[in-house]
Structure 1
């Protein structure tokens, strides 16, 4: 089983912007794969990661949008909308569940 590295908040922002690609890192997992619909439904009242971002008013379409995501606001949104205490625990769980499916 190939182990992938966890995604940091900075990497999340790059992924949302579309900067991360398979060519850059063959172990890269897209957010759609990591935070798939089953994961989001299990750990939140939202069906998709896109809906999660939208509900938090994290509308990411441009570099400026990405720069406007404040880490503290993102953390608060995670606490409000998921069963996680913070981004780190959400990310770790997503990575474990993803690895378990491989």
Structure 2
């Protein structure tokens, strides 16, 4: 690694390596998924109504908990975050299989 690359990395300027298995929250909780399991059209709308703020998987981990689970149980077909996330992952994988 060159000194320039090291400096960029330390400053956080290097572009993150693309993980081919990475799926964004918007891809997982797309409009089709949300409309099928709630009254929302976007994940952002879902979070905003509940007064939650998150754009990344890391930020979602910071809001997971009983309050978030109760909100999910009230506003979706799911009993908690874990069930909602697993269903979204399954639907995403199934949709990838159809397009491949």
TM-score (normalizing by structure 1): 0.66
Q: Indicate conservation of the 8 Å contact 1:58/1:69, yes or no.
A: yes
RMSD: 2.5
- Between Structure 1 and Structure 2, the one with more helix by share is 2
Q: Does 1:93 align with 2:87?
A: yes
Change (3 A) 1:35 1:73: same
Consecutive unaligned residues in structure 2, runs of 5 or more: 1-14
Change (3 A) 1:25 1:88: same
Greater relative contact order: 1 or 2 (C-alpha under 8 angstroms, separation 6 or more)?
1
Measured in 1, the distance between the counterparts of 2:62 and 2:94 equals: 34
In the alignment of these two chains, the number of paired residues is: 79
Kindly provide the CA deviation profile for residues 13-53 of structure 1, in whole angstroms up to 9, marking residues without a partner as x: xxxxxxxx862633110000000011000000111100110
Larger radius of gyration: 2
Consecutive unaligned residues in structure 1, runs of 5 or more: 1-20
